[in-house]
């Protein structure tokens, strides 16, 4: 019988604002914070990417003796450091310089040029986590994320056994340290929750690689990581966890069908039918993404954070205009006006530039538009051909389009959210999407693909049943479909009537925080230790 601490450990590859490549970082940074605020004992485990981690946000308190793991014949030493992130989030850092002291999280260009040894790197995160549990005490729950956290469930099972912890007696309050006297924790290993942030990335490697990451041979089976003759980290993570979640209700449905299931739809459908797959909408950190206090932007919103209505439009207009002026002076774009003397609408893009995001088709839509009535600010990195196409667009439309590709730029992303009138996200699939939530918080009207979390968060102006539209949902995210949506929004913007004004304030009035979803996670953690 193991000794347990009444803790929940989040394990993942990113944690904003320490280190972030995409939405996973946002969630690892914000959900633990909300749970801690609710009084729960939470810890976050991430690799110590010494070179890129934002040291301002870490306070290291203790260094533990080194551990060791053999990958094939090769022994690797690693260290454990504990402390706090952002002042009060308990943190465990897995230190292994060969694997983690690099320029990027997954590889350059937003991970498109992935490091060849990523499987080894994230196997190291898993072994480091199990080792940290031995040093610090075993948590009741481990919540691991995405393919990079997919090896964690196997390592925990081989380290502590298959027998899951359960609370013998009333469990309520246990994560707040309030276990009733009559209750005790029984079992060997923590309960394991696994979240799929994006099924498009599964960590697929040759099956031979399996033997090099310190796993028992029994996990080389279709009941774990083997998938049609390959090693599939995400599949093993799903198979070996006690509950699986994904990041929006619509995506939870979509991934049980072949079109969005990326070969795992059968597994996921079974899981859903068993009640072990849940779609829980992500939130954003409303304190961090707050136009009233955001330090990255030049002009803060002069309204109290809260509900907005049409009477607030004037301030939102000022907010947009002043931030647009500041952004344009930084990126050397002239402010252009259209037919009726109104400043042209600014379209913003902050995105990984991969096929799934639909930015390639968005660029085609603009190329076909001869003299389009917009200005555009694109920040993104990813596939070389999309980056080049985006840069070419800004060469052709020098005074209308600004493009910055190839690197992550937190400060510029805030400036674009604050300045843009229309935020474009024509994704082909989108598990949840955080950029549209952030953009809405900054008063952007959204043009988005009608899929996954975009479907769940953008209220469509074309749907007569929708009361407070915040944008437009694009059914066909090809260049024509995207051009149609942009045209619809342009017409509303330029006529400057109540319809546009309503779109802006409705959008800003949607608050996608964590409160509701954090409660759902909390009850799910209780469910898996009962």
Kindly write out the interface string for residues 420-439 of this chain, putting x where it contacts ligand ADP by CB under 6 A and - elsewhere: ------------xxxx--x-
Measured from the CB atom, is 379 or 422 closer to ligand ADP? Answer: 379
Closest distance to ligand ADP from the beta carbon of 429 (Å)? 10
Q: Is 491 exposed, middle or buried (0-12, 13-18, 19+ CB in 10 A)?
A: exposed
- Contact segment (CB under 6 A) with ligand ADP among 56-64, 125-133, 408-416, 481-489 equals 408-416
Structure tokens that stand for 508 in this block? 């800003």
Q: Count CB atoms within 10 A of the CB of residue 463.
A: 12
For ligand ADP, the binding residue among 253, 265, 355, 409 (CB under 6 A) is 409
Nearest residue to ligand ADP, by Cβ distance, number only: 23
> How far apart (Å, rounded) are the C-alpha atoms in residues 180 and 510?
39
Please name which of 68, 50, 67, 70 lies closest in space to residue 58, comparing C-alpha atoms.
50
Strand bridging mode 346-353 / 138-145 = unpaired
d(CA 62, CA 64): 7
Of 278, 216, 285, 267, nearest to 31 by C-alpha is: 285
Structure tokens at 86: 């952002």
Q: Name the one range near ligand ADP by CB under 6 A: 138-146, 206-214, 376-384, 521-529.
A: 376-384
Contacts with 447 (C-beta within 8 Å, 6 or more apart), sequence order: 422, 423, 424, 425, 426, 471, 472, 474, 482, 485, 486, 489
Judged by CB under 6 A, the stretch of 253-261, 347-355, 366-374, 472-480 that binds ligand ADP is 347-355
Please say which residue, 209 or 409, places its beta carbon nearer to ligand ADP: 409
By residue count, the chain amounts to 530
Least distance to ligand ADP from the beta carbon of 356, Å?
8
Residue 26 contacts ligand ADP per CB under 6 A: yes
Closer residue to ligand ADP in complex, CB, 15/379 = 379
Sign of CA dihedral 432, 436, 441, 446: negative
- Nearer Cβ to ligand ADP (22/187): 22
| Contact call for residue 171 and ligand ADP (CB under 6 A) | no
- Tokens standing for residue 40: 């729960």
Q: Is 153 in the site for ligand ADP (CB under 6 A)?
A: no
Candidates 250-258, 272-280, 349-357, 482-490 — which segment interacts with ligand ADP by CB under 6 A? 349-357
Per CB under 6 A, 245 contacts ligand ADP: no
Backbone angles phi, psi at 360, to 5 degrees: -60, -45
Number of residues located near ligand ADP, criterion CB under 6 A: 19
Considering beta carbons, is residue 312 or 387 the nearer one to ligand ADP?
Answer: 387
Among 88, 259, 399, 410, binds ligand ADP (CB under 6 A): 410
Residues 6+ apart with CB under 8 A from 523: none
CB of 201 to ligand ADP, least distance (A): 9
Going by the DSSP 8-state scheme, the letter that residue 341 receives in this structure is S
Q: By CB under 6 A, what part of segment 103-142 binds ligand ADP?
A: none
| Strand 107-108, strand 113-114: pairing | antiparallel
By the rule CB under 6 A, 312 interacts with ligand ADP? no
SS3 category, 173: coil
**Cβ of residue 381: shortest distance to ligand ADP, in angstroms?**
5
> Are the C-beta atoms of residues 376 and 405 closer than 8 Å to each other?
no
Binding site residues, ligand ADP, CB under 6 A:
22-23, 26, 198, 350-352, 379-381, 408-410, 413, 432-435, 438
């Amino acid at each position: 019988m193991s000794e347990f601490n009444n803790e929940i450990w989040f394990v993942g590859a990113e944690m904003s604002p320490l280190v972030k490549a995409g939405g996973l970082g946002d969630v690892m940074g914000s959900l633990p914070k909300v749970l801690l605020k609710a009084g729960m004992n939470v810890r976050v485990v991430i690799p110590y990417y010494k070179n890129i981690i934002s040291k301002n946000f870490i306070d290291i308190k203790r260094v533990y003796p080194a551990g060791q793991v053999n990958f094939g014949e090769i022994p690797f030493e690693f260290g454990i450091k504990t402390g706090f992130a952002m002042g009060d989030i308990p943190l465990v850092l897995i230190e292994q310089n060969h694997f983690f002291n690099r320029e990027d999280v997954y590889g350059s260009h937003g991970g498109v040029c992935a490091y060849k040894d990523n499987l080894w790197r994230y196997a190291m995160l898993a072994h480091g986590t199990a080792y940290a549990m031995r040093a610090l005490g075993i948590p009741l729950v481990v919540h691991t994320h995405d393919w990079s956290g997919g090896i964690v469930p196997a390592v925990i099972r081989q380290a502590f056994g298959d027998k899951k912890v359960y609370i013998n007696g009333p469990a309520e309050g246990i994560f707040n340290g309030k276990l009733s006297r009559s209750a005790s924790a029984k079992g060997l290993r923590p309960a394991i929750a696994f979240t799929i942030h994006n099924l498009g990335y599964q960590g697929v490697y040759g099956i031979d690689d399996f033997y090099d990451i310190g796993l028992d041979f029994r996990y080389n089976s279709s009941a774990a990581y083997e998938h049609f003759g390959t090693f599939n980290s995400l599949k093993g993570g799903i198979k070996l966890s006690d509950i699986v979640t994904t990041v929006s209700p619509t995506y939870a449905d979509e991934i049980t069908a072949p079109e969005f299931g990326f070969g795992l739809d059968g597994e996921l459908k079974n899981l859903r039918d068993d009640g072990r797959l849940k779609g829980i909408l992500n939130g954003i950190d409303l304190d961090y993404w707050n136009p009233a206090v955001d330090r990255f932007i030049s002009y803060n919103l002069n309204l109290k954070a809260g509900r907005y209505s049409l009477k607030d439009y004037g301030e939102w207009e000022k907010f947009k205009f002043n931030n647009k002026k500041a952004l344009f002076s930084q990126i050397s774009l002239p402010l252009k006006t259209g037919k009726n003397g109104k400043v042209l609408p600014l379209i913003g893009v902050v995105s990984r530039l991969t096929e799934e995001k639909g930015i390639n088709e968005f660029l085609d839509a603009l190329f076909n538009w001869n003299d389009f009535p917009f200005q555009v600010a694109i920040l993104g990195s990813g596939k070389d051909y999309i980056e080049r196409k985006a840069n070419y667009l800004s060469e052709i439309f020098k005074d209308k389009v600004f493009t910055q590709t190839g690197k992550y730029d937190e400060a510029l992303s805030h400036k674009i959210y604050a300045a843009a009138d229309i935020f474009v996200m024509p994704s082909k699939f989108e598990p949840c999407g955080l950029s549209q939530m952030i953009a809405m918080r900054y008063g952007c009207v959204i043009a988005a693909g009608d899929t996954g979390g975009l479907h769940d968060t953008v209220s469509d102006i074309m749907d007569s049943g929708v009361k407070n539209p915040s944008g437009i949902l694009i059914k066909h995210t090809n260049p024509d479909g995207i051009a149609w949506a942009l045209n619809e929004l342009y017409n509303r913007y330029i006529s400057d009537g109540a319809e546009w004004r309503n779109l802006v304030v409705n959008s800003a009035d949607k608050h996608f925080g964590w409160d509701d979803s954090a409660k759902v996670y909390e009850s799910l953690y209780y469910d898996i230790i009962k």
